[in-house]
Structure 1
Amino acid sequence: MNFSRLVLPGITMIAVTYGLTRFSYGLLLPNISDDLDMSPFISGIISSLFYLSYCFAIILSTVLTTNKGPRTMILTAGTSAFLGLLIMGVSPNVWIIGLGVLFAGASTGFVSPPYGASISLWIEKKKQGKANTWINSGTSIGIALSGAGALILASEWRLTYFIYAIIAFFALLWNAKVIPQIGSNPHVTFEKGKFSFRGVEGAKPLIICSTTLGISTAAFWTFSIDFIESTSSYSDWQFSLFWIIIGVFGILGGFSGSLIERFGLPFAYKWGSFIIGMASFILAWLPEQWLVAYTSAALFGVSYLFITGVLMVWGIRVFITNASLGIGTPFLLLAVGQVIGSLFAGMFIDLLGFSLTFVIYGFMGMIAMILGPKEIKK
C-alpha cells in the first residue's frame, strides 16, 4: 500500500480519538465543572473513566486485531469516538457525561493496536518506523486542534463536542474507504498466544515504567488547566493557547525514533521521563506567570509524545513477533497508571491544593526515570 494512503487517515483517526476525544477533556473541564457543578474529586473520577475504558478496550483490541486483522477495530474506534463525543455534547449531568467518557476513552484503546498491525501488514519494512512515528504524531495534532477549537468557541463546550463528533464521523468514513480487509492469505501473520519476552529484563521494566509514567502524567492532563485557572491570572484564550502549545510541541516528539537510533533506548527514555517530571515541577513553581506556565506546557507536550514513541519502540522490541501486542502492552499500562493517577490527583488537590499535588506528580516522573530500561537489542 502507498505510504501516505495509510498514514494520512491514520494520523486523522489518532488526532480524533486521542486529541479531540480524550485529551480535550482537560481543556474543557473548567467550563464542564461549572455547568455540571463537579468538584475536583468528581472530576478526577470522571477522568479516570477515560483510562479505565481505555484499558479494557486495548486488551480487546489487541486480541481481536491479532485474530481478525486491523480493519474491524479501527472502524470500531471511529464509531466509539463519534458516539462518545455526541453523548458528551448532550450531557445534562455527570452520569451522562460519564457514559460519554466511557465511549470516548474506549476509542483510544481500540485504535492503537490495529494501526501497528496495519503498518506491519501493508507498509514495507524500512518505512515502518517512520509510519508509526507519523501516525503517533496525530495525538499532538489533535491536541493542537482541540486548543484552537476552544479558542474559537470559548466556553461553548457542548457545541465544541458536537463539532468534534462531526470530524470523527468523517474520519471514520475515510478509514472505512482506505483500510482493506486482511484477506485469506495476508503476507504477514501474527503468532497467537505467544508473548515472546526477551527474558524478564525485557518485560518487567516495561511494565513498571509504563505504569509509573502513567501515574506521573495524569495530573497534568486532567488538572493543568484547572490549576492555572485557579490563579485568576488568565483569560479563556490563554487557556486555549496553553493547550495549543502542548499539541504543537508534542509534534517534536516524533523525533523519538531518530534519538533512539542515535543514542539508544535508555538515553531517550531517561531524558523523556526527566522532562515530564520537570514540567509538573515548573508549573507548581509559578503557575500565575504565563511564561512559566507556557514553558511547562511546551516541555510536557514534547516529552509526553516523545515518551509514548519510546515506549512503543520498547514494547515492539520486547514483543518481537506481534506489533499490535508490542504497542498495546505499554499503552495499556500507561493507561492503568493514569487511572490510578487521576483518582488520587483529585483527592490530593482537595486535601493539599494544586501546587503540592503537582510537586508529588513531578517526583513520580523522576521515579520513572530512575526505573528506566537497560539497553535492549534491536
Structure 2
Amino acid sequence: MKFSKLVLPGVTMIAATYGLARFSFGLLLPEINQSLNMSDFISGAVSSLFYLAYCLTIVLSTVMTTKEGPRRMILSAGLAAFTGMLLMGFTPNVWLLAAGVLLAGGSTGLASPPYGAAISLWIKEEEQGQANTWINSGTSLGIALSGVGAMFLAENWRMTYVIYAVLTFLILIWNFKAIPKDEQRSTLSFKKGNLSILGVSGSSTLITASLALGISTALFWTFSRSFIEASGDYQQWQLSFFWVIIGLFGVLGGFSGSLIEKKGLTFAYRLGSLAIASASIILSITPGNWLLSYAAAGIFGSSYIFLTGVLLVWGIRVFITNASLGIGVPFLLLAVGQVIGSLLGGWSIGTWGYAVSFMLYGLVGIGAALIGPKQ
C-alpha cells in the first residue's frame, strides 16, 4: 500500500481525536465554565471523563483490533469523536456535556491501537517506523489547530465544537475510503499474546512511573489556560496562542527515539520527566508573565510528546515478547493517572488555588523522574 495513502488520513484522524476532541477542552474550559456555571471541582470531574473513557476504549480497541483488524475501530474512533463534539456543541447542561466528553475521550483510545496494526499490515517494514512517527505527530497538529481555532471562536465555544465535528466527519469519510476493507487484508494474522503483566521484570516500575506521570500532567492539560487567564492581563489571542505553542513544540518530542539511541533510555526518561515537571513549576511562579508562560507551554508540549515516545520504547523493552502489551500498559496507566490527577486537581484548586496546585503537581513530576528505568 502506498505510504501516503494510509499515513495522511491517519495523521488527520489522530489530530481530530486527540487534538480537537480531547485536548481542546482545556482551552475552551473557561468559557464552558461560565456558560454552564460549573465549579472547579465539577470541571475537574468532567475533565477526568476524557481519561476514564480512554482507559476503557483502549482495552476494547486492542481486543477488537486483534479479532477483526483495524478498519472498524478506526471508523468507530472517528464516529465517536464526531458524535461527542456534536453533543458538546449543543449541550444545554453539564450532564449532556459529560456524555459528549465520554464519547470524545473514548475516540482516542479507539484510534490508537488500530493504526499500529494498520501500519504493520499495509506498510513496508522499512517504512513502518517513519509511518508511526508521522501518525503520532497528528496529536501536535490537532492541538495547534485547536489553538488557532480558539483565536477566532473561543467566545463561542459551542460553534467551535460544531465546526470541529464537521471537520472530523470529513476526516472520517477520508479514512472510510482509504482504509482497506477486511477482505483486502494481507496474509498477516493477528495472534493473541500473553496478556499477563504480573511477574514480568521491570513491569511494576513502568506501571508506577506511568501512573505518576499521568497525575503530574493532568493539571496542565486541564487548567493551565484557566490559570494564566485568571493571573494576567492576557488578550484572547494570547490565551489561544498559549495552546498553539503546546502543539507546535510537541513536534520536537519526535526526537525521543534518537536521544534514546545516543544517551540511553534512563537518561531520556529522567530528562523528559524533569522537563515536564519544570513546566508546571514555572507556570506556578510566573503565570502573569507572558514570556515565561509561553516558555512553560513550549516545555510542556515538547516534553509530553517526548515522554510518550520514551514510555513506548520502555514498555516494549519490558514486554519484549508482546509489543502490543508494551504499548498498551504505559499508555493505559498514563491515562489512569490523568483520571486521578483531574479529579484531585479540581479539588486542589478550589482548596489551595492555582499556584499551589501547579507547584504540587510539578513536585509529583520530579518524583516520577526518580522512579525511571534502570540502565
**Do Structure 1 and Structure 2 share a fold, with TM-score over 0.5?**
yes
Secondary structure in 2 aligned to 1:317? helix
Residue in 2 aligned with 1:43? 43
The 2-side partners of 1:316 and 1:182 are apart by: 27
Structure 1 residue 319, shift from structure 2 partner: 3.5
Residue in 2 aligned with 1:86? 86
1:290 paired with 2:290, answer yes
Residue in 1 aligned with 2:348? 348
Matches within 5 A, 1:161-180: 161-180=161-180
Q: Is the 8 A contact 1:120 1:323 kept in 2?
A: no
Segments of structure 1 that go 5 or more residues without pairing to the other structure are none
Residue in 1 aligned with 2:336? 336
> For residues 373 and 86 of structure 1, do their structure 2 counterparts lie closer, same or farther at Cα, with a shift above 3 Å needed?
same
Q: Is the 8 A contact 2:210 2:330 kept in 1?
A: yes
Structure 1 residue 37, shift from structure 2 partner: 0.5
Give the residue type in structure 2 aligned to 1:25: F
Structure 1 residue 109, shift from structure 2 partner: 0.8
Residue in 1 aligned with 2:190? 190
For the aligned residues, what is the CA RMSD?
Answer: 1.6
Secondary structure in 1 aligned to 2:190? coil
Q: Is the 8 A contact 2:87 2:96 kept in 1?
A: yes
| Farther-moved stretch of structure 1 (185-194 vs 209-218) | 185-194
Residue in 1 aligned with 2:374? 374
| Partner deviation per Cα, 1:317-352 (whole Å, 9 max, x = no partner) | 334455443322221111100000000000000111
The 1-side partners of 2:369 and 2:219 are apart by: 18
Secondary structure in 2 aligned to 1:200? coil
| Partner deviation per Cα, 1:74-93 (whole Å, 9 max, x = no partner) | 11100000000100000111
TM-score by length of structure 1 reads 0.95
> For residues 352 and 359 of structure 1, do their structure 2 counterparts lie closer, same or farther at Cα, with a shift above 3 Å needed?
same
The 2-side partners of 1:185 and 1:91 are apart by: 40
1:76 paired with 2:73, answer no
The 2-side partners of 1:233 and 1:64 are apart by: 49
Residue in 1 aligned with 2:181? 181
| Farther-moved stretch of structure 1 (77-86 vs 327-336) | 327-336
Give the residue type in structure 2 aligned to 1:308: T
Q: Is the 8 A contact 2:28 2:154 kept in 1?
A: no
Secondary structure in 2 aligned to 1:192? coil
| Partner deviation per Cα, 1:296-327 (whole Å, 9 max, x = no partner) | 00000000011111112222333445544332
Structure 1 residue 43, shift from structure 2 partner: 0.2
Residue in 2 aligned with 1:270? 270
Residue in 1 aligned with 2:248? 248
The 1-side partners of 2:339 and 2:324 are apart by: 22
Give the residue type in structure 1 aligned to 2:369: M
> For residues 239 and 184 of structure 1, do their structure 2 counterparts lie closer, same or farther at Cα, with a shift above 3 Å needed?
closer
Residue in 1 aligned with 2:52? 52
Residue in 2 aligned with 1:9? 9
Q: Is the 8 A contact 2:27 2:240 kept in 1?
A: yes
TM-score by length of structure 2 reads 0.96
1:29 paired with 2:29, answer yes
| Farther-moved stretch of structure 1 (29-38 vs 202-211) | 202-211
The 2-side partners of 1:49 and 1:6 are apart by: 30
Structure 1 residue 73, shift from structure 2 partner: 0.6
The 1-side partners of 2:290 and 2:44 are apart by: 25
Structure 1 residue 68, shift from structure 2 partner: 1.1
Give the residue type in structure 1 aligned to 2:286: L
Structure 1 residue 118, shift from structure 2 partner: 1.2
Residue in 1 aligned with 2:138? 138
Structure 1 residue 204, shift from structure 2 partner: 1.9
Secondary structure in 1 aligned to 2:189? coil
Give the residue type in structure 2 aligned to 1:32: I
The 1-side partners of 2:185 and 2:136 are apart by: 28
Structure 1 residue 168, shift from structure 2 partner: 0.6
Residue in 1 aligned with 2:125? 125
Q: Is the 8 A contact 2:121 2:185 kept in 1?
A: no
Q: Is the 8 A contact 2:201 2:318 kept in 1?
A: no
| Partner deviation per Cα, 1:252-306 (whole Å, 9 max, x = no partner) | 1111122222222222111111101000000001100001100000000000011
| Farther-moved stretch of structure 1 (320-329 vs 229-238) | 320-329
